[in-house]
Structures are given as C-alpha cells and as structure tokens.
Structure 1
C-alpha cells in the first residue's frame, strides 16, 4: 500500500529536520538532496537499461543501506558517492557534501546513528516508476523539500529557490506555444537550483534545450542534480558570475537564446566588481554602481535572439527609480522592448519581503509596439505561514489576462507609450500611475443622513446582483424620493428575503446544474484512471473546462469557482489520484492497519478502531473514509446510533444538572463531595455512611436518585458504545464486499463530485452573505435622520428638565 504523497513528504521533512544536527537548513539541504539524487539514479538504473546515468558496483544507494550501523559509515558514504560521481563525470557536483564531517554530523556513535537513520528514511522511497514530470513522486518530493529548505534558510540564504507558483507564471507568459520545438533554447543567467528553468521547459510540448549559469558552487551543484532528476541529462549549467564572467559567449559577443527567464538577486551592490568586458550590454546606459538590477536586465536583453522573449523578476524600484536607471528605462521603452509588467504581491520570495514585479521583454516586432500591457496582481494571494503565496486562481487569472491582453478595471490595462512618455510621467512605469486598484470609497451621504433613505448611487454599485436577480431590488427596496430608496422589509429579514427569492433559488440551482454537467462530462475520464494517467494533464483538462463553463455565469467569478476545485485537488484529490495510479482502485480502497514508525516519526491517526484496549486493531482508509461507506450503506443504522448518542448525552446532562443543583454548600449532596467533585463511587460510599448514621432522609433520597442517574448514564453509554462498535464492524466488513463499480461510485460521486459541488455552493453562499451585509449596513446607516436624532435630544432635554424640577433645581 502506497502512502499518500502528503503524508510521505511531511514525514520525510519531519525526519530530516529532526536529524539536522549542528547546521542550518541552507547546509543541511546539500546532504538531503544528495541522498535523494543517489536514491533516484539507483532506482532508475534498475528499471531503465537505457539510463544515461551509470550506477557502478559500490556506487549505489543499496551500498549505503548495507552500511547502516557501520562505525565508518560517513567515510564509506563519501566513497560510494565518489564512485558514482567518477563514473558519470559528476565530480564537484554530487560529492560536495562531506558525510564524514564531525562538526556537522557529530562524532562516533552520534554520526553513526544520524546517518543510519537518514539512509533508512530514503530506503523506503521507490522511484522506479517515476516519470519526473513535476506531478510524480520524485518531482513533488524535490519541490516539497526545496520549498521547506528555502523557508528555513532565512533571508540571506533562501535565494536558491524561486517559489513554484511564481515560476509557473513566468513559464506561461514568456511566449511558449504549441509550436515551440524541443531545440528551442531557454536561458537563466542566475539559475539557482534550476527550478525556474524546469518549470519553463515543462510548459513546452516537447521540452526545451536548457542553458543556465549560477555563481554559488553548492547551488550550482543542486541545479546539476535537479536537471538529471528531471530527465535533462543534456543540460548545460555553468559556474561563475554572470555579469563579470559570462560563460555563454561567442568571441566578443554573448551567445543568444530563444527564451530567457530569471530571478536575479535584488539590488546587488557590488555587481561590477572585477568587470572587464561589458560585451556591449550597457549600450543604453551604465547601471548605478550600487544597484545591479538593470545590469541583469540588460544582460538578458543582450542574450536574446532578434525575436527572443524573456520574463524577469525584479524589485518594483526598477519601474520608477531615477537618474541612470531612468535613462535606461526610457531607451528600452522607446525601442519597444518592454512588452508587459506584472506587479506581484509582497512577501512572496524567500530572500526578501519586498514586493516585486515581472518584466516581460520581447524583441519580436519591438519597433511596432505602441504600448505596455500592465497588470496589478498585488492583491491576489493567500497567507502561508510567514510568507504569501499565489493561489491557483491568481496564477490562472494573471496568465489568462496577460496572454489575451484583456483589460479589466482596477486590474489590467494596455498603457499607450505616448501616455508613458507624457511629461507628467516621463517614462515612469510605476503601476499605480496607470492602474488604480484601490476599492471605491464608501461615501457617506449627508442628504440621506438628514432626510433618510438609502442613496440609489450605493444600490447602483450592486448592479451585478440586480442583473443576476432582476426583480430582487424591487422586492427589497421602494422609492423614497428622487435618488433615494427605503428598505421594503425589516433589516433583520433581508437574508431570508433573498433566500426566498425565486430568482436566487434558480441561480443556485443553475450553478449546481453547471457543476453537475461539468462532472458528468469528465466522469468517463476519471473512472478510467490507471497507472498511465498523467495527473498534471488530467487536472489541467478538467479545471480549464470548469473555468470556461463559468465564464458566462453572472455574478460569479469563474476564477473563484476554479479555485475551489484546485484547492480540493491540492488538498485531497491529488493524493487520491496518486493512490489509484500506484495501487489500482480496489487496493487503494482497501483498509490498512495504521503505521507506527518510530524511526521515521510517523504515527497515523486511525479512521476506524475495532476492539478496545491492547487488542484493538486500528485501520486507515486512505481513499474512502468510513463516513462515505456509512452514508451510502448504513444510513439507518447511523441514525439509530445518533439517537442513542442523544439519549446518552441527555443522561449525562441529567447527572450534571442534578449535581449542579444539589452539590452546593449546605446542599443535599455536599457531604458526598471530594475536592469539589462527586462520582458514583463517592455517592455510594456516602449513602452507606448516611444510612448507618441515620442522617436526614432527604439526603438519602438525593443520593439514591443520583446513583440511579449515574446507572442510567452508564447504561446509555454502554448501549451507544455497543451500537457504534457493531456499526464500525459492519462498515469494515463492507469494504471487503465493495466491487470496482461501487468503489468508483463512492470516490467519484460521493467524494469528489459532492465535495466540489459543496465548495462551489459555498461561493454562492458567500456572495449572498456579502449582499446581505451590504444592504444591512446601508439600511442601518441611514435609518435615523438628523430630525429623528433632534427629536430624541428634545425629548431627553424635557425629561432632564422635569427631573431637575422634581429635585428642586431651577
């Protein structure tokens, strides 16, 4: 039975993190990712006789497994990696991490145990079937680890990794299409660990020819391993400082490429140290000595072919800073090289918290370019710990809008070059100059405050709702005077009035129908899932269709609907698909005993427990939860158990209420209390004493009644426990009776469809609550006029005067 990906990765990270020892994450990643690499190439060599990586005898991961518990494990691991490196020309690539470093890994037994446990963690992974397409076990494991290492590495050391979400945006806006050939070249002059290059190559139908350069030695080694892990053994990743020592040159000129992407270090102060040859890169101006942003941008521009395209991440300052940078910016714009600018949310990147932008360069037809397409995407993100992350809907919206050049109010606009060149702007590209993304101000209407009524201007602003529900405005509001309306229902009844509206009910029904039609169209594909399914292609196909179907739906944002599916995919459905691909429908649906792996710190919470105490058997249902089985096959039994639970709760409540009433100071149960508490045993003991001492008969009756209530509670709890145990056993047995069609019905209809439909219905509900909240706000805002307030003040003045007179005060 395959573990869920999410469980596997979180377990992997917890184990690795616990074994970190005397180094921070920026160093520890080199050890972990090296082991991941050796494990992958070992597994691949077993399953692929044509693998380009030769795994020699004595140079495999299996040789590492044989070293567990060996006193010289550190030194011997170094030798194994050395043999693998030598056999493949990977010296100074995979052998940079010293597994015999006592300062980082501990001495003697400490190192022996730490490395033995690390090897054990990776020994359980199986990459023999890995396709390394970004949606498989290997690609996701690498991505997961890199993101966590970047998060843990801090500001100064987290720049080796560009967040996958941002990488996907660059990959989709850089100009790749169905006609992009495998021999088209893509270049990243500051490639880090290579994740951005891989995302771009993955976007091309048949991949791309990859070139990159990285200054940091350890990060360069990560990039080399990353490329091999993802099947790009023929990549060309070189080492060195891109600005002072560019490695891709042709004589006195730079080599040029079809595409380029980059996430350079922001605002490098020493970018020109040691610079001898500028290779004609700075023909439009020399960047400031203490700020290298434009040095990288100009290097990339010079590295493009005559029809080349690039997408570069840079800080917002490049859009508006003056002096030398202003002159460079002016020349780039006048020549039409800047195709677009995308403003991103703050705090996306691991090396810095400042907001950044994507600048899209395009040399093709540059002279004919008459404008710059701008997007302000700064408000679309979700919080993820101490960082922000782009959601699936944010990525899709940015890409759709940019590639189709769609203008959306307060979000995107094609800005003419003559406007940018206007004296009031002087080639300043600061996005807020051209796109006002702020929400319209909620203006207080003094005339409404004085004379009552809700301003029609505020109601007109809700036009999207009135278009979706044409008669609703007339049902909720009635005319007051020209330009103003009154609520036709009490403010507390607005919500129910909307829910009762036939137009709203039809809208909600139509939305459910659209989701149902969408799922029915893709159900054949989903029920045909097998080991050959490509998850990335699957989710792209069904999610894009869902988005397209809701483009024509009034009021609803198709991107909000799309996000519901994608969030469910990332949280649940992706794991389900992986299990079905790995094990098949029947085996994936089969209950398994929970894993208790102390070595890997993996302890699973059971979904079903049969028996109790030490003889209890704990089961995990990865694909089909017991709730789904119960809902379909044991609904009546569950109703009876629910009734018994209610009866047991009532019995417990009767005990609590009786004790609360009588277990007080001088109460009938006061003598039975011990340390402020009372139990059946204490009550029984006190009853014996009371009878022996012949105390007040009322106390004896109270004790007898309490014991009776305790007995009734115990019986009720026993009955519900027995009923629940019987239902649990029946549920477990039902799993064994499930045939493939029933399994697919539970997964496809009861789980995937039901959850997706419910999430979309939640979007509709949120829209309703937003309308209710706004109408209630407006109704309450103008319910009292100035005249009403003056009348209240006058009444209060009369009342105060009367009270003073009654007190003899004139």
Structure 2
C-alpha cells in the first residue's frame, strides 16, 4: 500500500535531514536533489520508452543501489552520474555535487554509511506507478524539499526559491488562460531553481515555452533538473548575470517574450559592475549605481513584446524612493506601462524579512491606461514557523480582485493617474497614500461615560450584522435617549439571545443548505475518481463553485468559506484522492499495519490496536477512520463504551472524594498516607497491619475507612477493566467490519460521512465565529458604558462614608 503524499514528503525530508550532519543546508540540497533526479529519470526510463532522457548502462539509480556498503561508493557514484550526464548533455548540470568529497561527506566508513543510507531512502520511492499524478507526486516531493532547504539555508542563501504561494499569484495575475498557446513564451531573467517559471507555465492548458537565466552555477543546475523533472526537457535556461551579460540577445538586441516573471535579488549594490552594453534598457533613466531594483524592472520591460505582460517582485522602496528612481517611475507611469501594484505581507521570502510588492507591467493598451490598480494584501497571511505564508483564500482574493479590477474599501482601488501625478503625491506609488487598510479607531464616548447608554454610532458600525438579522438589533437594544441605546438583555445573556433568534437559525441553516447543494452537485464527480483524475483540476472546479455559491451570502465572506475547503483539501482530502486514484476505493480503505521504518524516520501512530503487550497488532486506516465505521455500524456498541466510561469516571471520582474527605492530618486515613498520597497498595498494607496478628494497633474506625477505600479502589479497577474489554471488543468488531465493506459502502463513508460532513461543519464554524465576534463586541460596549461617572462617584462616596465611620469607631478623627 502506498504512503500518503504528506507522509511520503515528511519522511523523505526527515530521512535526508538526518544524514546531513553538520553540512550547510545550501550545499546539502545539491546532493539530495541530484539523487532525486537520478531516481526519477531511472524510473521513468523503465516505464516510458519515449522518454527524452537516456539512462545508459552503468548510469542509473539501480547502479547506485548496487554500491550500498561499497568502500568506494563516493567515487563510483560520481562515475554513475558522469555517465548519465554525458549521455544527455547534462555535464555541469547534474554532476556539480561531488559525492567523493570527504570534507562534506566524511572519510572512509562515515562516507560509506552516509551515502548508503541516502541511497536507501530514495530506493524505496517508486515514481513509475503514479499514473496521471506521477509528475505531481515527483514535483511535489521536489517542491517540499526545496522549501525546507530554503528555510534551513537562512537569509543569505535562501533566494534560490520563491514560495509557491507567491509564484501562483504572479502566474495568475498575468492573465494566462485557456486560449494561451504552448508556443507562447515566458521568461525569467533571475530564475533561481525555476519554480516560478514552472508555476507560470502550468497556468496554460498545454504549458508554455520556457526561457530563463541564472548566474549562480549550482542554482542554474537545480533549475535544469527541475525543468526535466516537470517534463520541460526542451527548456532554454542559460547561465550568466542578466544585467551585465544577458544571454538572449539575437542581433545585439534583447529578445522579447509574451510573458515575464521575476523575483530578482533586492536592492543589489553591484548590479552595474562590468556593464558594457545597456541594450537600450535605460532609455527612461539610469538606475542608481548602488541599487539595481529598477535595472531589473527596466530589463524586463525591454524584454516584453509590444503586447507583453510581466509580474515582478520588488521591495516597497521602488514605489516611493526619489531622485533617479523617481524619474524612471514617472516615465513608466506616464507611458501607462504599470498596470497594477500589489502589496504583500512581510516575511514571506527566504532571502529577506522585509515586505515586498508585485509590479504588474502590461504593454498592451498602455497608451490608453489612465490609472493604476492597487491592492493592499499585507494583512492576509498565516504564520508558518518563523515565516509567513499566503493562504489559499489570500491567493484567490488577490487574483479575483485584480483580474476583475474590483474596488474594495481598505483593500483595493483603481487610482487615477491624475491623482498619482498630482502635487500631493508627485508620482509616489506608496500604497498607504491611496488605501488606508488600518482598522477604524475604537472611540470612547465621554457623553456615554457621564450619562450612560451605548452610542448608536457604535451599533451602526455593526450594520452588516443588522442587515443579515434585521430584527436582532431591536431584540438586543432599547432606546435610551437620542443617539444612545441600552441593552435590553443582560450582558451574559447576549450570546444565547443571538443563537436563539429565528434569523440566526435561518442564516445557519441556509449556509449548511448551500454546502449540501454544492456537494450534491459534485458528488458524482467525486464518486467517479479514477486513475485519470487530475486532482488540481478537480479541486479548482469544486472550490471555485463553492466560492461562487457564497459570493452573495449576507455577512459570510466567501473567501473564508473557500479557505475551509482548501485547508481540508491540503490536510486530508488530497491524500484521500491520491489513495483512491492509485489503489481504488476498496484497496485504499483496507487497514494496514503501521510502518516502523528507522531508515526513513517514519513511525506512525496507529488508528486501531488489537490485543495488548507484545502480541498486539497495530493498524492504520488511511481513508476511512474507525470513528466513521463505528458511528454508522456500531452506534450501540459505542454507546455502551461511553456509558462504561461514565461509570468508571464516577468510581474514580468516588475514590478522590473519599480520600479528600478523610486524608486530612487528623483524618481516618492519615496513617495510610505516604508523601501526601494514598494508593490502593498503601491502604491494603495499612489494613493488613490492623488485623489481630498485625504488628500495629489501628483504630476500628480507621479499619472501616480503609476497607471502604479498598472497596472503592476495587470498584474503580473493575469499572476500568469493563471499559477496556468493551473497547477491545468494539475495536475488534470494527477491524473485522472493514473486511465486509463493499465499494458503495466505502464511498458513502468517505463522500458523505467524511468529506461532506467535515466541510459542512467547518463552514458552520465560520458562521458561528461571526456570532462570537458580534457577541464579543456587544459585551465590550455593554461593559464599557455599564457604569456612568455618576455611578462611580456615588459608589466612591459610599466607600468614603464607610471608611470615615470605621475611623470614628476607632476614635480616630479625620
């Protein structure tokens, strides 16, 4: 049975990282990714006779496996890679890592063991049988490793990788669609490991023709391998510094492309060192000598066809810095080349923690462009370790809003060029000048503090709730005086009043109903999963439809709903789809023994344990969790176990209460205490000593107390034993039931009880969270203005009078 994708990736990373030792992650990645490449092309050559990569005799991964334990494994591995490189013109691409480097891999036995273990890790991977998902499985593994190596490499060495989420934003804002042809070209002048280029190419139905340049040799090699791994054997990725030695220069002119993307190094100071020919790139002005941001931007602009489009990641400084950069910015804006600016969150990138922006260039219709569309997406992210990441909903919202040019308060607007060029802004593109994304200030109302009542303006600010629940405001508040209201219910009763309202219940039911209708519409497609399913197309279709169904729902943000599905997809559902595609419903649903693999650092937590001790068997249920089987087929058995659990809890509580009552310093059980505790063994030993033949004299009341405590302990042990036996019987029946499940039953469990129910519950949670926000705000306002200044003054005077009275009673004058 195949490992789930997520388990495969995690175990692969843990295993490889275990073998790294003290080697720098930036260097170690070259070894790991080279092995992954050789393994992949070897597997593909076995299953695809038309593979463009020739795997010669003595140049395969199988030859590496044969070297395990060989004293000369390092030297011989280099020979294998050399043969593969020479057969495919990949010299200086896949042979950069020296597998015989004693300084990095250790000497003698250390190198032998390390390389043998690394080869073993990859030997267990099989990329032949993954069918339509094969390249995605491999690409996903490569992406997972790249992300982790970038994380481990630190700021100075993590720039070879652009986070996949940011890459998707750039790819989608370019407007590549169903009519984009395979011969359309895409170019990245600072392509790093090629992940950004591949993400863009993947937006086209049949891919794009890919061009790139990278000046770092090792990173260039990574890009070459990455392209081949993703099926772009005909890529054109060249080496060299793009600014001083551009490689795509037919006829001494820069070649032009349909699309361009880039994540160039920020604010590089040495960009012009060795620059001899500017290739007409700086007609709008020469960038500052010690800051190359605009040098890259102008290079990309010059590399676009007359109708070309580009998306470039740059630091925010390019939006507002003065002098030479201000002059260039003015020229670009006046000519209409800048279509949009998207502000991103801070700490997204591995090379820097500063916030960045995306500059969208578009030469088509540039002369008629009268404004710049701006988005402030700086607040949309999730924390991921010490970095930030864009969520699925953040990506989709940015792309939707930009593509449709939708204006949203405090998020996006079309800014007229007249406003940008005006005297107040003077071509400054700093986003906060045009979009105020800050939360409205929560103003304290002094009049309300003095005279009471909640300001109506604070209630008016909750208008989206009153629009969704029209009668709720009248239920919760009553007029106080003009401009102020009082709570009509107690502060503690607000939440229940909201939940009990017919309007909220109708709202929650309608939200669930929309999910039910959505799932019913897509259930046939999900039911029909097979080896030819393309998961990315599947999730794109069903997720976009869910978002559309909630687009006009009052109060609910459709992107919050969308995120519930996408989070579940990434965490669980994608793995499920992968299993069903590769193994079929019945095989994927079969329990399997848990994996305990020391080599791959994989130790699974079992879902079902049958038996105990050494004879216990541990089982993993990847597709159908035991709780679903129990809920559908063994509800009575679960109810019995629950009842026994409750009874056992009662017996435990009885023991605790009896001990608490009698284990005081002078209590009946004080003699049986040891270090403040009384176990059954201590109580039994004390009781034995109290018998006539015993060595100690014990009070009769203490004897009765000890006997009662031992009896309570026996009842507790019996109750817990009954729970264990009932649970064991239920677990055994559940395991056996898996063998009786037919395909329709498995589909029902997965489609309805797992996927549908989970997504519906998550969306319901979004609706509930909205009420918690409303209730929290109402409580805050109610408590803030509950006491007036007069109330506080009166209370203070009462306390002062009491203190004066006490002082007088003690004969102390004020």
Q: Which runs of 5+ in 1 are unaligned?
A: none
1:202-217 alignment to 2 at 5 Å?
Answer: 202-217=202-217
1:469-548 alignment to 2 at 5 Å?
Answer: 469-548=469-548
* 2:51 matches 1:30: no
2:648 is aligned to 648
1:687 is aligned to 687
Distance 1:744 1:778 in 2: 50
1:158 is aligned to 158
* 2:302 matches 1:302: yes
Distance 2:367 2:13 in 1: 51
1:447 is aligned to 447
2:633 is aligned to 633
Q: Which runs of 5+ in 2 are unaligned?
A: none
1:153-302 alignment to 2 at 5 Å?
Answer: 153-302=153-302
Question: Helix, strand or coil for the counterpart of 1:95?
Answer: coil
Cα 1:538–1:600 shift into 2, 3 Å: same
Residue 447 (structure 1) shift: 1.6
Mean Cα displacement is larger for which, 223-232 or 675-684? 675-684
Residue 428 (structure 1) shift: 0.3
Distance 1:630 1:503 in 2: 35
Residue 61 (structure 1) shift: 0.6
Distance 2:424 2:309 in 1: 30
Question: Helix, strand or coil for the counterpart of 2:305?
Answer: strand
1:762 is aligned to 765
Distance 1:261 1:132 in 2: 28
RMSD of aligned residue pairs (Cα, Å): 1.3
1:795 is aligned to 798
Residue 132 (structure 1) shift: 8.2
1:782 is aligned to 785
2:561 is aligned to 561
* 2:463 matches 1:463: yes
Distance 2:135 2:625 in 1: 24
* 2:722 matches 1:710: no
Cα displacement string for residues 461-485 of structure 1 (whole angstroms, at most 9, x for unaligned residues): 1110111011111111111122111
Distance 2:322 2:135 in 1: 44
1:738 is aligned to 741
1:573-612 alignment to 2 at 5 Å?
Answer: 573-612=573-612
Distance 1:794 1:680 in 2: 59
Distance 1:711 1:592 in 2: 38
1:396 is aligned to 396
Mean Cα displacement is larger for which, 40-49 or 692-701? 692-701
- Asked whether the 8 Å contact 1:133–1:230 carries over to 2, the reply is no
2:14 is aligned to 14
Distance 2:630 2:502 in 1: 35
Mean Cα displacement is larger for which, 651-660 or 51-60? 651-660
| TM-score when normalising by structure 1 | 0.98
Distance 1:365 1:227 in 2: 33
Question: Helix, strand or coil for the counterpart of 2:33?
Answer: helix
Distance 2:783 2:597 in 1: 59
Distance 2:448 2:397 in 1: 39
1:112 is aligned to 112
Cα 1:289–1:360 shift into 2, 3 Å: same
Distance 1:178 1:734 in 2: 47
Cα displacement string for residues 37-86 of structure 1 (whole angstroms, at most 9, x for unaligned residues): 00110111111100000011111111111111111111111111111000
Residue 177 (structure 1) shift: 2.1
2:385 is aligned to 385
Question: Helix, strand or coil for the counterpart of 2:690?
Answer: helix
Residue 114 (structure 1) shift: 0.8
- Asked whether the 8 Å contact 1:454–1:486 carries over to 2, the reply is yes
Distance 2:682 2:437 in 1: 69
Distance 2:604 2:276 in 1: 60
Residue 666 (structure 1) shift: 4.1
| TM-score when normalising by structure 2 | 0.98
* 2:809 matches 1:809: no
Distance 1:480 1:448 in 2: 11
Distance 2:393 2:679 in 1: 56
From 726, 730, 734, give the equivalent of 1:727: 730
- Asked whether the 8 Å contact 2:294–2:318 carries over to 1, the reply is yes
Cα displacement string for residues 395-436 of structure 1 (whole angstroms, at most 9, x for unaligned residues): 000000000000000000000001110011110000000011
Question: Helix, strand or coil for the counterpart of 1:342?
Answer: strand
- Asked whether the 8 Å contact 1:370–1:416 carries over to 2, the reply is yes
Distance 2:131 2:25 in 1: 28
Distance 1:113 1:694 in 2: 68
Residue 292 (structure 1) shift: 0.4
- Asked whether the 8 Å contact 1:192–1:214 carries over to 2, the reply is yes
Distance 1:136 1:92 in 2: 26
- Asked whether the 8 Å contact 1:589–1:624 carries over to 2, the reply is yes
Question: Helix, strand or coil for the counterpart of 1:709?
Answer: helix
1:65 is aligned to 65
- Asked whether the 8 Å contact 2:127–2:134 carries over to 1, the reply is no
Residue 694 (structure 1) shift: 4.3
Distance 1:191 1:23 in 2: 25
Residue 684 (structure 1) shift: 2.4
Cα 1:132–1:417 shift into 2, 3 Å: farther
1:661 is aligned to 661
List structure 1 segments (4+ residues) > 6 angstroms apart after TM superposition: 131-135
Cα displacement string for residues 499-531 of structure 1 (whole angstroms, at most 9, x for unaligned residues): 111011000000000000000000000010111
Distance 2:84 2:761 in 1: 52
- Asked whether the 8 Å contact 1:132–1:230 carries over to 2, the reply is no
* 2:4 matches 1:4: yes
Mean Cα displacement is larger for which, 134-143 or 261-270? 134-143
Number of residues of Structure 1 aligned to a counterpart in Structure 2: 810
Residue 701 (structure 1) shift: 1.5
Cα displacement string for residues 674-721 of structure 1 (whole angstroms, at most 9, x for unaligned residues): 444433333222222221244321222222212211211121111111
2:776 is aligned to 773
1:421 is aligned to 421
- Asked whether the 8 Å contact 2:135–2:229 carries over to 1, the reply is no
- Asked whether the 8 Å contact 1:669–1:702 carries over to 2, the reply is yes
Cα displacement string for residues 643-697 of structure 1 (whole angstroms, at most 9, x for unaligned residues): 1111112222222222333334343333333444433333222222221244321
Cα 1:135–1:630 shift into 2, 3 Å: farther
- Asked whether the 8 Å contact 2:132–2:531 carries over to 1, the reply is no
Cα 1:726–1:131 shift into 2, 3 Å: closer
